[in-house]
Structure 1
Amino acid sequence: MWKIFARDWKSISTNWVAMILIGGLIVLPSLYAWFNIKASWDPYSQTDQLPVAVVNEDEGATVRGTEIDVGKDLVEELKGNDSFDWQFTDRETAMDQLEYGDYYAVIVIPDAFSEKLGTVVSDQPEKSNVEYYVNEKINAIAPKITEKGASVIVDQITKEFVSEVNGTVAELFNELGLELEKDLPDIKRFEEYVFKLEENLPEIYDLISGAYDDSQNAASIINDVQGLLPRADQVTRESLGTIDETTSFLNEAEQRLNEVAPRVEADLKKAQQTAEDVNSFINDVQSVDLDLTGVTELKDGINQRTSEALEQLNTVENLLKQVQEQQQQNGEENPENGEENQNQQTGSEASQETVNQALKEVERIREGLQSVQNDTGRLEEQLKDSQTEIDQTLTTLEEKSGETADRIDAFLTEYKENIEPKFLQEINQAQQTLSDARSILTEAQSTIPQISQILGSTESNLAEGQDILEYMLNEYPYVNEKVNQMADRIREIQGETDINEIIELLKNDPEAEESFFKEPVSLSKNTRFPIENYGTGMTPFYTVLALWVGALLLVSLLSTEPVHTSEYRSYEQYLGKLATFVSIGFLQTLVVTLGNLFFLKIGIAESLYFVLFGLGISFVFMTIVFTLVSVLGDVGKAGAIVFLVLQIAGSGGTYPVALLPEFFQNIHPFLPFSYAVDLLREAVGGIVQARVKTDVIRLSIFAGVFLAIGIFLKGPLHENSRKLMKKSRESGLFH
């Protein structure tokens, strides 16, 4: 083994051509890794080099008096955005350039974009759409990147729109919260009103029922009153006639009184004079001795004067009785006691009372004069008795005549000062009362048509009110049920929520709410094993791939058999040549791993482990590839290439295993790439001991299996593989 290994390196060191070729084989795999890693270093930071066209056809819109133009705003924002090489153009140019391949994608904002966004405030909102066109034949990755860019634009528009709408809603909620807080006393009062209404509904029902019954009674009363209006109009007209007649009578009575008053006064004065003459006559003859002849003359003188006084009193009495008869006649002509007749009757009663008193006074004066006449007649009878009795009689006559004269004088004074003024005053009052009554009746007569109209309107309104009351009575069960439900719901809400909490929930900062809905969830990224960039993340895969490619290059260019095979046993040949290949593989590994660290300056968490893990992986890969070729010859080379193809797709080096087709997911555990890539990822990002242990054990198993194959099967299989190689070379197509 050692002789084979030493001879190989001696040959390399003493042959400059071999040295150059080996040097190339050592460096060449590293170039494969470095170029791929560098190319994929950070491709997403270079998307500003991808030309993407933007076509703005948005015509804007007016939403509740506010002009909006989302397309224009988006274009202005993209002009300051360096995510892509934005090209702002028209639809036709954009589509031509897209087909030709100058543009990777085209984003079109349609004409109704803002208009549809504005429908969010309507009862039938419509979704806006952004048209996205992509030419996928240009590049496999570019469409995915540009599609992500289009999605970012849509997300940005949505975010801005949602934040704006929610900001507006938050502002409305804030205003609503403040308004609710302001109206909280009214809300509490409303709750009390509902509970009060619930409590008083039975009483309200009774009142409505009573009002409905009263309205029916009122309708009946109105009909009765309407039936009496014609009679009232007739009575009013008759009463006006009566008042006019009574007024005319009072005017006549006043005129008659004015005419009679001087005559009454004159007759009373004559009666007074006569009474005084009688008194004077009696006084003259009182102390004279009288004979029968003288007594007769005296008697005749007294009777004559007394008769004259009585005639004058009769004249006064007749005048007063005429006034009394006229008053009674007026009362008989107006038997109906309306308001105006009552007024008239009151004045007439007062006047009649005055006339009756005057007649009584006249009657008393008459009685006194008649008493004088009677006593005068006794003179002749008493003359025979004695002079003394005559004197007593004359004294009595004198007293009575004097009293009569005084009474007439007092009556004359009473008549002038009280009876006549009072009678005239009563007549004037009656005239004023009748005038007022006439005005009232005239106004009442003019009001009767209005009353008739009002009663008709009232009857119509009352009928309508009856319909309403009847409707209310019919609707009462429904209203009662709903009010009870409302009251129960309020009590339920009061038990579940507090309106003060609702108000506090509605009150907010609109700007803070808008900012919240613009980004309701912020991603707080906490990287457990940070990777600087995409290139760093791809380093494990491309490094492992370079080590396998390096092994393939070695078995393709270098011989897997020693020069003098007869000198060594088969396992010695296998192990001796394997040592040469592994040592060159280690050099390849050192170049690629150290180049990653110091040439590309990849940020690797565990640099030493990265190199050591690389050396271990190189040993496993070289063992596998060398064993396949050493044991199977050209068939082994083909197997190593097939193995490479399967591992590129199924190791999970580029895409997660869960995203791979089922076939590759099934073979993934049986591929050395799977554990090699994972082992280098531990060194790049940060070591987890359990995973490292698992990966090392699995790789060791692969190495052990292929070492056993090489040691124990090289001899038995080598002669057959040699014959196959010889036969293939005879074709002149293989070396």
Structure 2
Amino acid sequence: MKNIFRIFSKDVKNTGTNWVALILIGGLIILPSLYAWFNIKASWDPYGQTDQIPIGVVNEDTGATVRDEDIDVGQELVDNLKENRSMDWHFEDRDEAMDNLENGDYFAVIVIPENFSSKLSTVVNDKPEKAEMEYYVNEKINAIAPKITDKGASAITDEISSNFISTVNGVIFDMFNDIGIELEQDLPDIERFENYIFNLEENLPEIKQLVDQSLTDASSAEEMINQAQALVPEAERVTNDGLNTIDNTTAFLNKAEDRLNEVAPQIQADLERVQQVADETNTFLKEVQSAGIDFGSGTDLTNQLDEQVTQQIEAISSIEETLRQVQQQQNENVEEGENGDTPDQGAGEGNQGQGSQQIEQALQELATIRAGLETAQERSNDVRTFIQDKQSEVEAVFNDLQGLVENTSANIDAFVTEYNENIEPKVLAEVDSAKTTLAEARGILVDIQTAIPEVERILGSTEADLGDGKGMLEKVQNEFPYVNDKVNELADRIREIQGETDIGEIIELLRNDPEAEQGFFAEPVQLNENKLFPIENYGSGMTPFYTVLAIWVGGLLLISLLSTDTTNMESYSSRQVYFGKLFTFMTIGFLQSTIVSLGDIFLLNVSMASPGWFVLFGLLISLVFMIIIYTLVSVFGDIGKAMVIVLLVLQIAGSGGTYPVVLLPEFFQVIHPFLPFSYAIDLMREAVGGIVWDRVLHDILFLGIFGIAAIILGAFLKQPINRQSKKIKQKSKESGLFH
């Protein structure tokens, strides 16, 4: 033990008596602190200086119009960024901004495209489109800067999204409020609609019956239209035949009228001749009566009388024949009319029938007159016989004959008057009436003939429409089961809703404060941050890592300049040399750790929860690190130095000092538990953030294991390993490259 302290005392004495050694040792004590302090200060608050990061902003947005209102989201964003100090925003055109980005003057460029507002405005359409912004970043400039600028770009999109959602939801809830008011106003109509659904459900069987009946009626109507269409050609034929019949009947009437006009003068002359003969006979009888009758010449008189009567009878027969011809012609017209199929011809036939009756009446009167004349002629024969038998009765017979002739003359006068005033005018009037009726009937048939194509077209169109209607009815009939199910389902759903939900509650839910709802959706979730172990800034958070690193670097500097062996090696054993020099390294390590720890506290003002424990933990870490470093170099020589450097590299990457271990590659996650840095950094973090003693004891335990393992290695393996390492060291010196 004395030799161990003798070696340590000698090192202390040599340092104190040699000013060069003192300066070098002083430098070795302070240098690790500078390494830690500069790195901590450099990373003190990098995220608080993001306003110095230049980012280009290019606004190409042309705006849009939504419901007659102009919007320009791009310009609004630019106006907001001009008031934003989170980054160093530069507003330029695309070409200039991209040139600055390529040259490294800008870390990133954000481009707002020309359709930015128009795409945002599609939120009111059936198919809304997402708006996009272009983001360009120069990752070559710095590894961390792109992450910071990404956060800036994300913050912009989050702000736009938040404002957009807030605005849209404000409009939506404003609409909900209006809907609630309208629902409240329309509540009676809603209740009526419910009743309507229930009534519809109740009347569905009757509706089904009506649909089936309508479909049957449509089929019947379709058959009737088909029959009507089949009758159109027949109606056209009958109309054409009716026109021909009317034209023929009109021709017959014209002929009858012409014939009547032709025989009228003859009838008039015959009537005048009959009337004249009657007058002459009457005069003759008066003369015979007034004059003395020569019964000897009675035969001549009766012959003369008989001759005159015969002439009258012939005249009457002529008139009868003429009237019968007219009557026959009218009857032929009537028969022609009866063959026609138009209802309007009946009127003409009626008029012709009345004319025939007048002629028949005239014929009967003429027959009466003729019968009288024939009676007179018979009496004339009687006179002739009677004259021969009874002269005394001649006068009575003449008186009778004279009365009969006078009677006949009066009847003839009455007939002439009747013929002139009634028979002939009525016959002519009835012919004219028949012609007028036929003309009107012809006009009607012409109209019918003209209308037949239109009727045919209407029937065709009606058939097509009826076919469509029938198809629609069939579709309704086919769809009726679905409609029936849906109406019943809707009615059941309404009853279910009535049982579960009060529409008044729905109205109350819809009626809200749009501004309050808008504020809610602008930030529906507020993050209440509770810092369990608060650390003021990034530099304070990185202090444990850089302090531990400085302590290891301090040990690395010591083994680079100080020797792990002593003079007069023969006087001491390997174990004595190991422990004697270890105390020297440990003492300098303690000084290094104390200076760096106190400098963190007082020079940098690092925020710490437990500054005293921070210094003590630093001393413990320095002790363990120095044991490990010194042991490796003392045992393995130059190879040990390489091992220390390799350990440094692995621990910087795998200890979790900068990034969480879970983010590291799998290799570093595997070696993490076997690195002294892992526990040293955690121990220093406990002092900076707040001590959890379970974790402190855990870290101290594993650091102690590392230290004890190193001591065991140095105490028991230094001598055998040194024998082998001397050969390697001698060989390396022979190269002239190593000392």
TM range (shorter): 0.5 to 0.7
Question: Is 1:9–1:580's contact at 8 Å kept on the other side of the alignment?
Answer: no
CA distance in 2, matches of 1:414, 1:174: 105
In the TM superposition, residue 38 of structure 1 has moved relative to its aligned partner by 3.5
644, 647, 650: which one pairs with 1:646?
650
**Residues 1:662 and 2:666 aligned together:** yes
Counterparts of 1:330-349 in structure 2, within 5 Å, are 330-332=330-332, 335-337=335-337, 338=340, 342-349=346-353
Give unmatched runs, 5+ long, in structure 1.
285-292
Q: Aligned equivalents of 2:713 and 2:135: distance in 1?
A: 66
CA distance in 2, matches of 1:229, 1:374: 59
Give per-residue Cα distances to partners, 1:455-497, cap 9 Å, x unaligned: 8x759x95x999x799989x98x99799857964995798599
Cα distance between partner residues in 2 of 1:465 and 1:369: 74
From 673, 676, 682, give the equivalent of 2:680: 676
Give the Cα separation in 2 of the matches to 1:362 and 1:730: 184
Note closer, same or farther for the CA distance 1:246–1:296 as it changes in structure 2 (3 Å cut): same
2: CA distance, partners of 1:265 / 1:162: 124
Q: Deviations over 1:222-275 (max 9, x none)?
A: 555666776555444433322322343455677778x5799599789969999x
Paired residues of 1:675 and 1:695 also in contact (CA < 8 A): no
Measure, in 2, the Cα distance between the counterparts of 1:417 and 1:239: 28
CA distance in 2, matches of 1:39, 1:97: 26
The residue that corresponds to 1:623 in the other structure is: 624
Residue correspondence of structure 1 range 351-370 to structure 2 within 5 A: 351-357=355-361, 359-360=363-364
2: CA distance, partners of 1:686 / 1:480: 84
Task: Give the match for residue 602 of structure 2.
Answer: 595
Deviations 1:313-339 (A, max 9, x none): 997786566434422244347741246
Q: Show CA shifts across 1:146-204 (max 9, x none).
A: 4554566677788889999999999999999999999998x999x99999999899888
Q: CA RMSD in A?
A: 7.5
CA 537–273 in structure 1, closer or farther in 2 if over 3 Å, else same? farther
> Among 86, 90, 98, which residue is 2:89 paired with?
86
C-alpha distance in 1, partners of 2:708/2:182?
85
* SS of residue in 1 equivalent to 2:658: coil
Q: Give the corresponding residue for 2:255.
A: 245
> Which whole-Å CA distance do the structure 1 matches of 2:484 and 2:23 have between them?
95
Rounded to whole Å, the distance in 1 between the matches of 2:182 and 2:219 is 40
State whether residues 369 and 401 of structure 1, in contact with CA within 8 Å, keep that contact through their aligned partners in structure 2: no
Comparing 564-573 with 171-180, greater Cα deviation is found at 171-180
Is contact 1:560–1:629 with CA below 8 Å preserved after alignment? Answer: yes
Is 1:437 paired with 2:444? no
Cα 1:233/1:656, change in 2 over 3 Å: same
- State the 1:109 CA deviation: 6.5
Distance 2:204 2:62 in 1: 49
Is the contact between residue 98 and residue 135 of structure 1 (CA under 8 Å) also seen in structure 2? no
Counterpart secondary structure, 2:55: strand
Q: Contact 2:119–2:130 at 8 Å: present in 1 too?
A: yes
Q: Which letter does structure 2 place at the counterpart of 1:47?
A: T
- The more displaced of 127-136 and 312-321 is 312-321
Which letter maps to 2:336? E
Q: Select between 537-546 and 338-347 the one with higher mean Cα deviation.
A: 338-347
1:584-625 deviation per Cα after TM superposition (whole angstroms, max 9, x unaligned): 4673475156338xx5363x5xx13x6425523531442331
How far apart, in 1, do the equivalents of 2:137 and 2:675 lie? 40
Contact 1:267 1:316 in 2 (8 A): no
Identity %: 32
Partner of 1:700: 701
Q: Does 1:44 align with 2:44?
A: no
SS for the counterpart of 1:652 is coil
Q: Which amino acid aligns with 2:331?
A: G
The separation in 1 between residues aligned to 2:245 and 2:652, in whole angstroms, is 126
Deviation at 1:652? 0.7
Counterpart of 1:84, as a letter, is: M
- Count of residue correspondences: 689
Whether the 8 Å contact between 1:551 and 1:625 is mirrored in structure 2 is yes
Report the TM-score, using the length of structure 2 for normalisation.
0.63
Shift of 1:654: 0.7
Letter of the 2:670 partner, please give it: N
- Counterpart of 1:287 in structure 2 is none
Counterpart of 1:288?
none
Asked if the contact 1:250–1:431 (Cα under 8 Å) also holds between the matched residues in 2, the reply is no
Contact 1:55 1:106 in 2 (8 A): yes
Q: Compute the displacement of 1:352 (Å).
A: 3.3
Residue 535 (1) aligns with residue 539 (2):
yes
Which one is further off, 72-81 or 435-444?
72-81
Query: By how many angstroms is 1:723 displaced?
Result: 11
Contact preservation (8 Å) 2:108, 2:146:
yes
Give the alignment of 1:225-236 within 5 angstroms. Answer: 234-236=244-246
Moved more, 87-96 or 621-630: 87-96
Change (3 A) 1:200 1:256: farther
Matched ranges for 1:240-639 at <5 A: 240-249=250-259, 259=268, 319=319, 322-332=322-332, 335-337=335-337, 338=340, 342-357=346-361, 359-360=363-364, 420-421=421-422, 424-425=425-426, 427-441=428-442, 444=445, 448=449, 450=450, 458=457, 484=478, 488=482, 491=485, 524=527, 526-527=529-530, 529=532, 531-549=535-553, 570=576, 573=580, 580=587, 584=591, 587-588=594-595, 591-592=598-599, 594-595=601-602, 600=605, 602=607, 607-608=609-610, 611-612=612-613, 615-626=616-627, 628-629=629-630, 632-633=633-634, 639=643
Aligned-partner SS, 1:615: helix
Task: Give the distance between the partners of 1:102 and 1:525, measured in 2 at CA.
Answer: 38
After superposition, the Cα gap between the structure-2 partners of 1:655 and 1:404, relative to the gap in structure 1 and judged at 3 Å, is: farther
The 1-side partners of 2:322 and 2:53 are apart by 138
Cα separation, 1, equivalents of 2:273 and 2:720: 191
Distance of 1:196 and 1:544 partners within structure 2: 93
Q: 1:537 to 1:179 in 2, by over 3 A?
A: same
Partners of 1:684 and 1:111 in 2: how far apart? 51
Contact 1:267-1:312 within 8 A present in 2 as well: no
2: CA distance, partners of 1:251 / 1:517: 112
- Check whether the contact 1:55–1:107 (CA below 8 A) recurs between aligned residues: yes
1:714 aligns with 2:724: no
Distance 1:426 1:330 in 2: 10
Deviation at 1:36, TM superposition (A): 2.9
- AA matched with 1:238: N
For 2:204 and 2:593, locate their aligned partners in 1 and report how far apart those are by CA, in whole Å. 92
Aligned-partner SS, 2:336: coil
AA paired with 1:594?
I
Instruction: Rate the CA distance shift 1:624–1:584 in 2: closer, same or farther, 3 A.
Output: same
Taking a change above 3 Å as real, the CA distance of residues 725 and 199 of structure 1, as seen in their structure-2 partners, is farther
State how far apart, in whole Å, the 1-side matches of 2:405 and 2:346 are.
Answer: 40
Structure 1 residues 68 and 260 mapped into 2: Cα distance closer, same or farther (>3 Å)?
A: farther
The one-letter code matched in structure 2 to 1:102 is D
Partner of 2:503: none
Q: Residue type matched to 2:252 in 1?
A: T
- For the 8 Å contact 1:675–1:699, the answer to whether it is kept is yes
Q: Secondary structure of 1:600's partner? A: coil
Cα distance between partner residues in 1 of 2:373 and 2:161: 133
Distance 1:590 1:54, change over 3 A: closer
Aligned position for 2:500 = none
Counterpart of 1:600, as a letter, is: N
> SS at the partner of 2:656?
coil
Do the aligned partners of 2:624 and 2:706 also contact (CA within 8 Å) in 1?
no
- Over 3 Å counting, the alpha-carbon distance change for 1:519 and 1:716 in structure 2 is same
